[in-house]
Structure 1
Amino acid sequence: MSIPPMQSPASSSAANNMIAALLEQRTGQQIAANRAWRIETALKPLLRERGLNTLDELVTQLMATRTGELSDMVVDALLNQETSFFRDAAVLDMVADAARELQAETPHKRLRIWCAGCSTGQEPLSLAMLFEERSVTNPGTQPEIVATDISLGALARAKSGKFSQFEIQRGLSVRRMMSWFEGNGSEWTANAELVRKVQFRQQNLAGDPPPPGKFDIVLCRNVLLYFSGSLRKQVFDTLFSAVRPGGMLVLGAGETVIGQTDQFVPSDRFRGFYHPAAPKADALRKAG
């Protein structure tokens, strides 16, 4: 994809604006003006790697290059990959409870879970551990977990199952660390069995269709915060197309469907979650 046009990277402010525009063009994610400091902080390692001193020099290279490799590196570095194991653990416990109830309704059908914006994989791996520990379904029929992210770098890390000592200690009990991971110095590696429980795929919520098939539960937590209002509505359309009737949508603590879309409504059954809205009466009449 081409770099947003700009006459000259004459100032740091102009460089910030161009880099922010590149991120939004490629991913739909916005960087608020009061968080522009994130740009330089996130790109410092890339600047050092390429022997550059300023963002203006980086922008000059972006404008001069004929390939998208540098643009990919910039975008990947700017993506917010903040995550941790068992983040908002009470929410994941409720997901496991909902999965058990949904499975009881269709005991011969394997549940399907989609984790959208999975970053480096801690959320879907946490769910895989939780489902196994709580025996959500019969042995051998644990829910199918599909996890997607736009960042190939994050997905590569997720697939490797390798985490630092800091990452492994964020949210994991000693029991889970010892049960599901193997330590080697400051690096911990998830058991291959655990990683195999998750299908990691690249997907851009801002433009790509959802993974094939319908899902019983979709988690899209702390992703919509970075989108504009119009793009958020488009993403809700994508999420709606992926949830089966009777299924659930799980958002982050600071996110809601209220005032954003009429395709999802708060669930009476699972507090804090959302389910697809029932078809409107006029649509039903037309269908009939």
Structure 2
Amino acid sequence: MAMNDYAEQIIADLLLERTGQELTDARRWRIGSALSGLFRERGLDNVQQLVCLLSEQPDDILARETVEALLNNETYFFRDRPMFDQLANDVLPRIAKRNEASKRISIWSAGCSTGQEAVTLAMIITDQALRWKGWTIDILATDVSGKAIKSARDARYTQFEIQRGLGVSQMLTYFEETAQGWQPRREIRDMISFRQQNLLEPIPSSRKFDLVLCRNVLLYFCADTRRKAFDRLAQAMAPHGWLMLGAGETSVGQTDAFIPDRKRQGLYRPFGADQDDGAGVQTDVAAVR
């Protein structure tokens, strides 16, 4: 094995150990570009030098910085907007009907990155204020990246980040401009709690979630790790909950814990859930604003 290949393998093993994510041969090309900022900060020229420094470091700081740099934190507001329309107009009303007695909904955004997905969910709830009056809405947002979670908690978005997925009306309705950037209004932020959490670790809450979004996370896992992740998600969900995956992900052939929703693309139900629950609910958003 060439020296550079050996060094890249060590970096890939570090990422796998810390996060469960695989850097396959097809993705090794991004190591240099992902670590370029770290190279500059540490005065390094290449991956081999980084590996040597990692072996000499008495603490864990450099290893954490390396893993953080390799994580893909791509996200934006209303990413794949038709999926969020489906949540607003169909799935959430069905959950509301089932939970009418408790008037409480728990949502988990797993792999939330810098928080745009969780904020999008809170915006949808706020946009349907009449429907959710008197309800308790809990949104837990987790990510393996400590850097991403810190940014999500700070909740200060640049003009570029705001414009990715939001129109001017939404920006002015749900955000306030500050000296550090655009911040979601208090009622949006109060719905969300952020936590650094590895998806493969124990369930992040004692409560069961009615809706879980885990999008574009499982793509980076090998088949065995993906099965473990599906098991974690299944353990965290209410028996009649809903799971939303990314466009390039599926439970089919990956796990027996979930089956595809018969009528809704990108949505999955725990094995044994009643797929016709909530039939006949009012799904006209205008009727609940």
TM-score between the two structures when normalised by the length of structure 1: 0.89
Stretches of structure 2 that go unaligned for 5 or more consecutive residues are: 274-289
**Is 1:250 matched with 2:244?**
yes
> What is aligned with 2:228?
234
Q: Once the two structures are superposed, what CA deviation does each residue of 1:60-102 show, in whole Å capped at 9, x if it has no partner?
A: 1101112111111110111110111000111112122211111
> What is aligned with 1:4?
none
**Is 1:117 matched with 2:111?**
yes
Give distance in 2, aligned partners of 1:75 and 1:140: 42
CA contact (8 A) 2:106 2:210 kept: yes
**Is 1:106 matched with 2:105?**
no
**Is 1:33 matched with 2:20?**
no
Amino acid in structure 2 at the alignment position of 1:102: I
> What is aligned with 1:173?
167
Please state how far the C-alpha of 1:51 moved relative to its aligned partner: 1.4
Amino acid in structure 2 at the alignment position of 1:108: A
Identify the match of residue 272 of structure 1 among 266, 272, 275: 266
Give distance in 2, aligned partners of 1:224 and 1:136: 35
How many residues are aligned here? 271
Aligned counterparts, 1:155-170, within 5 A: 155-170=149-164
Change in Cα spacing, 1:99 to 1:160, as seen in structure 2 (3 Å) is same
Q: Once the two structures are superposed, what CA deviation does each residue of 1:116-155 show, in whole Å capped at 9, x if it has no partner?
A: 0000000010010011102374324252111111111100
Give distance in 1, aligned partners of 2:48 and 2:189: 41
Give distance in 2, aligned partners of 1:53 and 1:121: 33
Indicate the SS of the match to 1:143. Answer: strand
> What is aligned with 1:151?
145
CA contact (8 A) 1:99 1:111 kept: no
Give distance in 2, aligned partners of 1:140 and 1:241: 28
> What is aligned with 1:223?
217
Identify the match of residue 87 of structure 2 among 76, 87, 95: 95
Please state how far the C-alpha of 1:108 moved relative to its aligned partner: 2.9
Identify the match of residue 81 of structure 1 among 58, 73, 79: 73
Q: Once the two structures are superposed, what CA deviation does each residue of 1:139-179 show, in whole Å capped at 9, x if it has no partner?
A: 24252111111111100000111112211110011111111
Please state how far the C-alpha of 1:22 moved relative to its aligned partner: 0.4
> What is aligned with 2:276?
none
Give distance in 2, aligned partners of 1:166 and 1:234: 36
Give distance in 2, aligned partners of 1:10 and 1:192: 54
Instruction: Report the RMSD for the aligned CA atoms in angstroms.
Output: 1.9
Give distance in 2, aligned partners of 1:49 and 1:208: 34
CA contact (8 A) 1:85 1:122 kept: yes
Give distance in 2, aligned partners of 1:78 and 1:33: 15
Identify the match of residue 23 of structure 1 among 15, 18, 31: 15
Give distance in 1, aligned partners of 2:164 and 2:223: 32
Stretches of structure 1 that go unaligned for 5 or more consecutive residues are: 1-8, 280-288
Percent identity over the alignment is 44
Indicate the structure whose relative CO is greater, using CA pairs within 8 Å and at least 6 residues apart: 2
Identify the match of residue 191 of structure 1 among 163, 167, 185: 185
Indicate the SS of the match to 2:233. Answer: helix
TM-score between the two structures when normalised by the length of structure 2: 0.88
CA contact (8 A) 1:136 1:142 kept: no
Change in Cα spacing, 1:139 to 1:16, as seen in structure 2 (3 Å) is same
Q: Once the two structures are superposed, what CA deviation does each residue of 1:217-271 show, in whole Å capped at 9, x if it has no partner?
A: 1111110000000000001100010111111111111111110011111223644
Give distance in 2, aligned partners of 1:112 and 1:209: 14
> What is aligned with 2:46?
54
Indicate the SS of the match to 2:36. Answer: helix
Identify the match of residue 213 of structure 1 among 185, 207, 210: 207
